[in-house]
Amino acid sequence: MRVRIVRGFGVPLLLAGVLAGLLVAPTASAAPVAGGLRAAPTVPADTTAGYVVYDRQTRRTVASALPRMPFRSASLVKLLIALDYLQGRTSVTAADRKLLDSMLRSSDDAAASTLWVRRGYEQVVVRMTRLIGLVDTAPPTDRRYWGYTAVSANDVVRTYLYLAERATPFVRDLILGNLERSTQCATDGFDQSFGIPRAVTGTRAVKQGWSGYGSAPARPCVEGRVTAPPDPASRMAAEDAPPILADNRPTALAAPTLDLSRRALHTSGLVDGRRRVIVVLTLSPKTKSYDAQSATVTSITRGLHDDAVAAARR
């Protein structure tokens, strides 16, 4: 995965009318909203977590913590890349459909980079921020690093609400259909089945993100099993790729408002027949392994989902 940063998070005045109609609470309070969960999930001391659970049936934010805190997006920005590419389209070429499918299902970084460059780099984020009405999202200061786009849990929820409720049927079905077919293993060898895929049963439209774990895992997964580490030559080639193909390397341009010193691991998606949106964004120290943080994110997600379901029955 790849990542980069953002400097400003101000809300343009022209968006005020649009944002007023959005239902995701913009409050920065860490407490769940009234009528939501009875207790916040346990978050380890070594983890910073921003999360939102939104119920599309009741039109309520069920739980939230640090909903407007900026995180580097990692591969969550691929939702915006896909949306931007598909605006105004009713069909795509076979070649571009292959790029979209791989990017959305298996978090293909090369596919994302191809579309990012073709669509004008940071202008992808600028256009989608205006279209959707995102308030905390901003493009990377270095246009080569799409994964350092700044996002918040609130804005990722808004993106899913746009997909489910405002996008054209063609755009909605293509993107959510791919997310519902997400693979266990990403194209870079990381296991992306943490969080929602492990915590929630049934059909799920899921997009994951991770940053700070290197260009490849020590033991890359292959759909249900673990294989040997990649060939050293392959790893060298990946690490020495042009900057546009790497989002894991902080640069001097990184703004202080985004924490690039810690590792990022995010889970997001629509669950329960697309009734609920769950977004969990996390940061953890570099000493904590991918597997360990995956377990943390899964535990937080499971607690949020189980309590949201229980709350709806009360």
Domains defined along the chain, listed by start: 21-313 (3.40.710.10)
DSSP-assigned states of every residue in 35-80: TS-SSPPP--TT-EEEEEEEETTTTEEEEEESTT--EE-GGGGHHH
- The C-alpha atoms of residue 70 and residue 73 are separated, in whole angstroms, by 9
Average pLDDT rounded to a whole number, residues 289-293: 96
DSSP-assigned states of every residue in the chain: -B----S--PPPGGGHHHHHT--S-----SSPPTTS-SSPPP--TT-EEEEEEEETTTTEEEEEESTT--EE-GGGGHHHHHHHHHTT-S---HHHHHHHHHHHHH--HHHHHHHHHHTTTTHHHHHHHHHHT-SS-B--SSTT-GGG-EE-HHHHHHHHHHHHHTS-HHHHHHHHHHHTT--SB-TTS-B--SSHHHH--S--EEEEEEESS-SS-SS-B-SSSB-PPPPHHHHHHHHTS-GGG-BS---TT--TTS--SSEEEEEEEEETTTTEEEEEEEEE-TTS-HHHHHHHHHHHHHHHHHHHHHHHH-
Q: What is the pLDDT of residue 219?
A: 83
Give the model's confidence band at 40: pLDDT under 50 very low, under 70 low, under 90 confident, else very high: confident
CA terminus-to-terminus distance, the chain:
40
What CA–CA distances, in Å, run from 161 to 49, 88, 100, 165, 241? 21, 18, 20, 6, 35
In the predicted structure, residue 247 carries a pLDDT above the cut 90 = no
Q: What is the pLDDT of residue 33?
A: 37
In the predicted structure, residue 5 carries a pLDDT above the cut 70 = no
Using a pLDDT cut of 70, give the percent of the chain over it.
77
In the predicted structure, residue 257 carries a pLDDT above the cut 90 = no
Write out pLDDT tens, residues 139-173: 998 999 999 999 999 999 999 999 999 999 999 99
How much is the pTM?
A: 0.82
**Chain centre to alpha carbon of residue 296:** 17
Write out pLDDT tens, residues 63-88: 999 999 999 999 999 999 999 999 99
Average pLDDT, the chain: 83
Write out pLDDT tens, residues 86-129: 999 999 999 999 999 999 999 999 999 999 999 999 999 999 99
Angle at the Cα of 17 from the Cα atoms of 11 and 18, rounded to 5 degrees? 80
Give the model's confidence band at 29: pLDDT under 50 very low, under 70 low, under 90 confident, else very high: very low
In the predicted structure, residue 226 carries a pLDDT above the cut 70 = no
In the predicted structure, residue 22 carries a pLDDT above the cut 70 = no
**Residue 259: left (phi > 0), alpha (psi -120 to 50), or beta?**
beta
Average pLDDT rounded to a whole number, residues 266-294: 97
Q: What is the pLDDT of residue 218?
A: 81
Structure-block tokens of residue 174 = 């293509």
Contact 176, 205 (CB under 8 A): yes
- The C-alpha atoms of residue 68 and residue 280 are separated, in whole angstroms, by 12
